[in-house]
Structure 1
Amino acid sequence: MSTDPVNAFVPGPRARIPGKPGLPLSGLTFAAKDLFDVAGIPTGGGNHDWARANPVPERHAWAVQRLLDAGAELVGKTITDEVSLGILGESAFDGTPLNSAAPERVPGGSSSGSAAAVAAGLCDTALGTDTGGSMRVPASFCGLYGIRPTHGRLDLAGLMPQAPSSDTAGWFARDAATFARVGKVMLGEEPGRLPTKLLIAVDAFGFADPEVAAALQPMVERLARIVGSPPREEIMAPQGLSVWARAQRSLQPAEAWQTFKPWIEQHNPRMAFSVAAGLIAGSQIPASERNWAALMREEARARLRYLLPAGTILCLPTTPFPAPLRGLSLPELQPLRDRITCLCAQGGLAGHPQVSLPGATVDGAPVGLSIIGARDSDASLIAVAKAMENAA
């Protein structure tokens, strides 16, 4: 029987490092997205030419070392969308990992392999990254707990960059207890206090498919009971969700182009058409657009600072719809990507922590409810995740 029935792991010899007993994460297994360095193993980044052009790392990425030092066992490196420039999880080089929760649908990207491995029970937790939604979207599509931490909260040493002003590293889990156990190690603190105020992002719920909004309603009601005060409806993005998305689509691709430009110009790597097209578009974003987007980022940060003082959380659908079907054409996929960005842009723009909670389905496919808190309230969001599971 295959040890990788869902095509979650990078092809070839499996990176494995045994855990140690008697430590906080002893007995847990984890995988790492193929953007994280593992000493002695090439970092592939979802593109075979990237691995050929870059030296084999001599030390582990900070996040990998953190879990190993806590006793967890590394069981492999997982497939990622090419150079992390994807949101649906389809890879031209290594294939598309299987979404166990909805096998006919994509797993979400770019942390596709990590989400697929956890969803299939091939490991207890897995490291991924989130620049424009790459933790939150796979968590929603695969029915997992997933976190985009506060931007800058975790050390990204040994992580292949994409757009550093938005890059973060997070983790997935199937259950809240494991999610919190890993969080204690990664954050260096216990789950925090529960919030006392709940806001509902009515613009985000209105933007999502009606079936998604309806499916998430019982979770919102449970969340309100946990917080213990009547929720208040708010507009998350007064300028418009699509305006925030436009700003993120201006800043992130322009930064990604600067990240990958030296590699592209020196090595002329092979790329999927959609990835090459995105990088070309990023190279052509004018300064006037970037300057506008930078100002919109400041407005988004100000808005979330206002909405989210300590002790307050905001909830919204993680994605506007469940995972799309596998194998759709590029013209069919682009509007779906754009809609996803409208519900994910606040992460890269404002840098607040966000956790996607599982617990709802539409037509049998998972959809997640997200909670966002004040910067550095990551541990409080994890406490909410535990309380939500206990109250289910």
Structure 2
Amino acid sequence: MDDVVNAFVPGPRVRIPGRAGGPLSGLSFAAKDLFDVAGVPTGGGNHDWAKFNPVPERHGWAVQTLLDAGAELVGKTITDEVSLGILGENAFDGTPTNTAAPDRVPGGSSSGSAAAVAAGICDTALGTDTGGSVRVPASFCGLYGIRPTHGRVDTTGMLPQAPSSDTTGWFARDAQTFAKVSTVMLGEAPGALPTRLIVAVDAFGFADPEVAEALKPMVERLGRIVGDVREEIMAPQGLSVWARAQRTLQPVEAWATFQPWVESANPRMAFSVVAALLTGAQMPAADRAWAAMMRLEARGRLRHLLPPGTILCLPTTPFPAPLRGLSSPVLQVVKDRISCLCAQGGLTGSPQVSLPGATVNGAPVGLSIIGGRGTDAALIAVAQAMEAAA
């Protein structure tokens, strides 16, 4: 299909057929340009990255797994530069079109993957999620998206950013395709439905009132599916405190990842990317120690809230996708607010699925469900049940 939404990296489109007779035969997928495809440069959203890094000789684990399951690879997709972005705007390759809200950003850094799925160019697509890079575009584009339990999915052949938070994720337009792909990627079929739901009242209070109101029918439907519902505060220290901890730890690791390249190649980079890396390079040791302690507190909090059979729900993002082309000062406030509802992913490593189904002024916004570590399959079952009950 033609790339009518600028979802794919410039140049000839790579296409690789899947194994005949696999469980995903007949489905197509795209891969964010952080995943290795044998014989194709991994661009990472920066035109200087591929010049200073060898062309991979083998497929990344996630790409190979989908090909072995029968899905056809139809291209590599645009990403925010070296995955250091959350809105989907790339100074080198442009901004993929969010077909659900064309005047708004698609969300990033898995922008091209989300845009390609939302436009119907492919059935599913691989993304990565460090600080929200699958969950946010899933919300903004009206898709199913998953951030699996940290460490659950092999990240071999995936360009890292902050390894203690990095995960592979994926998108789909419908719950059945989402479940089929998830079964392959997780090596486990959808599990039993949970029996208790926690509504994160601090997260709903933090979101725009229009978002909380738009998500009410989904929360009510989720409550009917699960049965036992109660309200709790997710982050007693404060959502902004959790976000500050993640925004401390993540750039420190990102600088460690990219420092050798930056210092040896002096690459061209967007201002926002340089700023993020310099933040990590200059982070005081006392701040790093505080953030590491806050990570332990956040993990303990979710262990307490999410015993077996319990899930938690919250708005995936505090608002629908912002307009394209906003100024840097405006965008910084937007990014900070987004991180307040996404920080728990990188801090705790808990699995999270964003469910589509609500809009504000015609623009999508997602409802997220979070489970205890290792309960990914139960969240997939909830996604199926929610679609069936709609």
TM over 0.5: yes
State the alpha-carbon separation in 1 of the partners of residues 139 and 53 from structure 2.
33
How far did residue 310 of structure 1 move?
Answer: 0.9
State the alpha-carbon separation in 2 of the partners of residues 19 and 348 from structure 1.
32
- Residue 236 (structure 1) aligns with: 234
Among residues 352, 356, 364, which one is paired with 2:362 in the alignment?
364
- Residue 98 (structure 2) aligns with: 99
- Residue 191 (structure 1) aligns with: 190
- Residue 307 (structure 1) aligns with: 305
Among residues 374, 377, 380, which one is paired with 1:379 in the alignment?
377
Contact 1:79–1:112 (CA under 8 A) maintained in structure 2: yes
How far did residue 184 of structure 1 move?
Answer: 0.6
AA in 2 matched with 1:43: T
State the alpha-carbon separation in 1 of the partners of residues 19 and 198 from structure 2.
42
State the alpha-carbon separation in 2 of the partners of residues 20 and 35 from structure 1.
23
State the alpha-carbon separation in 1 of the partners of residues 157 and 271 from structure 2.
28
Query: 1:263-308 CA deviation, whole Å, 9 max, x = no partner?
Result: 0000000000111111111111011000000000000000000000
Q: Which runs of 5+ in 1 are unaligned?
A: none
Task: Tell me the SS of whatever aligns to 2:342.
Answer: helix
- Pair 1:272-2:265 in alignment: no
Contact 2:108–2:133 (CA under 8 A) maintained in structure 1: yes
- Residue 224 (structure 1) aligns with: 223
- Within-5 A mapping of 1:269-348: 269-348=267-346
Task: Tell me the SS of whatever aligns to 1:356.
Answer: strand
- Pair 1:263-2:246 in alignment: no
- Within-5 A mapping of 1:2-17: 3-17=2-16
- Within-5 A mapping of 1:38-187: 38-187=37-186
- Residue 349 (structure 1) aligns with: 347
Query: 1:107-130 CA deviation, whole Å, 9 max, x = no partner?
Result: 000000000000000000000000
* Displaced runs of 4 or more, over 2 A: none
Query: 1:30-78 CA deviation, whole Å, 9 max, x = no partner?
Result: 0000000000000000001001100000000000000000000000000
Contact 2:18–2:66 (CA under 8 A) maintained in structure 1: no
Query: 1:156-178 CA deviation, whole Å, 9 max, x = no partner?
Result: 00000000000000100000000
TM-score, normalised to structure 1's length? 0.99
AA in 2 matched with 1:191: P
Task: Tell me the SS of whatever aligns to 2:49.
Answer: helix
AA in 1 matched with 2:308: A
Query: 1:332-356 CA deviation, whole Å, 9 max, x = no partner?
Result: 1000000000000000000000000
AA in 2 matched with 1:245: A
State the alpha-carbon separation in 2 of the partners of residues 310 and 355 from structure 1.
17
Root-mean-square deviation over aligned CA pairs? 0.6
How far did residue 22 of structure 1 move?
Answer: 1.4
How far did residue 21 of structure 1 move?
Answer: 2.5
Contact 1:144–1:357 (CA under 8 A) maintained in structure 2: yes
AA in 2 matched with 1:119: A
State the alpha-carbon separation in 2 of the partners of residues 391 and 114 from structure 1.
27
State the alpha-carbon separation in 2 of the partners of residues 303 and 15 from structure 1.
44
Contact 1:196–1:312 (CA under 8 A) maintained in structure 2: yes
State the alpha-carbon separation in 2 of the partners of residues 20 and 26 from structure 1.
7
State the alpha-carbon separation in 1 of the partners of residues 255 and 186 from structure 2.
31
Task: Tell me the SS of whatever aligns to 1:43.
Answer: coil
Task: Tell me the SS of whatever aligns to 2:356.
Answer: strand
Task: Tell me the SS of whatever aligns to 1:48.
Answer: coil
Contact 1:21–1:27 (CA under 8 A) maintained in structure 2: no
TM-score, normalised to structure 2's length? 1.00
AA in 2 matched with 1:240: G
AA in 2 matched with 1:295: M
Q: Which runs of 5+ in 2 are unaligned?
A: none
Task: Tell me the SS of whatever aligns to 2:107.
Answer: coil
AA in 1 matched with 2:349: G
- Residue 202 (structure 1) aligns with: 201
Task: Tell me the SS of whatever aligns to 1:206.
Answer: helix
State the alpha-carbon separation in 2 of the partners of residues 169 and 21 from structure 1.
25
How far did residue 20 of structure 1 move?
Answer: 2.9
State the alpha-carbon separation in 1 of the partners of residues 14 and 197 from structure 2.
43
How far did residue 19 of structure 1 move?
Answer: 2.1
AA in 2 matched with 1:176: A
How far did residue 81 of structure 1 move?
Answer: 0.1
Equivalenced residue count is 390
AA in 2 matched with 1:384: V
AA in 2 matched with 1:201: A
